[in-house]
Every structure is written in C-alpha cells, then in structure tokens.
Amino acid sequence: NAGVMQNPRHLVRRRGQEARLRCSPMKGHSHVYWYRQLPEEGLKFMVYLQKENIIDESGMPKERFSAEFPKEGPSILRIQQVVRGDSAAYFCASSLTTDYNYGYTFGSGTRLTVV
C-alpha cells in the first residue's frame, strides 16, 4: 500500500501561470481532503471531495481555485493565475469512511513557489 501520493513534490510557477496539484488517495479510500499550510502555520482546510462530488468547499478561495476528484484518476487541485500569496505547501489526506474516529492519512505535500 503506497499511501497517499502527491505530485509533484515541488512546483515553481511564475505569476499568472496555472498550477495543477495531484493527489492519489490510499487504495480503497474514496474521501479526499485538501489542506494548505503557510510558513510557520498549521494546516487550513480547503476542500473535501468524494468520487465525482464536492462535499465541502468552504475553505476554498472563491476565485482561481478549483478541485475535482473524477471517477478515474487522482484528485486535482487547480490554481489559475497564481499569485505570490499562493506560495505554500498543499497537503492531501484520504480516508476510508466518514467515521471520524480514525486518523487521516496525509501525503507528503506539494510545495508551490510562485516567482
């Protein structure tokens, strides 16, 4: 079991470009969560998805950010027209069920740098 896989590990984008971050959940997990971590901060919730559905996107900025979790393939977090303030580490977690009495499995993250 390879765990939660995120790629790329590091991503550099110029201002105005698009960033695509990928997350493959653990095998059999159908719940995916994206979090953002700014330097010296804790993780902040962005979005919660199940296969083909966005369950909760209350943590997503209203513009430029979108997420999907298609029937086949990884979950994608997409940031359009990146700005320097988007520079952060983006983590994905997955879970098997919605039983919250189990810990979440996190990926190693994608570190986005906007230059």
Residues that bind another protein in the complex, under the rule CB under 8 A: 4, 6, 31, 33, 35, 40-45, 48, 55-56, 58-59, 91, 93, 95, 98, 100-109, 111
- Around Cβ 10, how many Cβ atoms within 10 Å? 11
**Between 17 and 30, CB nearer to another protein:** 30
Nearest approach in angstroms of CB 92 to another protein is 9
Provide the token pair at 99.
């039983």
Spatial distance between the Cα atoms of 9 and 89, rounded to a whole number of angstroms: 9
> Alpha-carbon torsion 68, 73, 76, 80, what sign?
negative
**Between 20 and 106, CB nearer to another protein:** 106
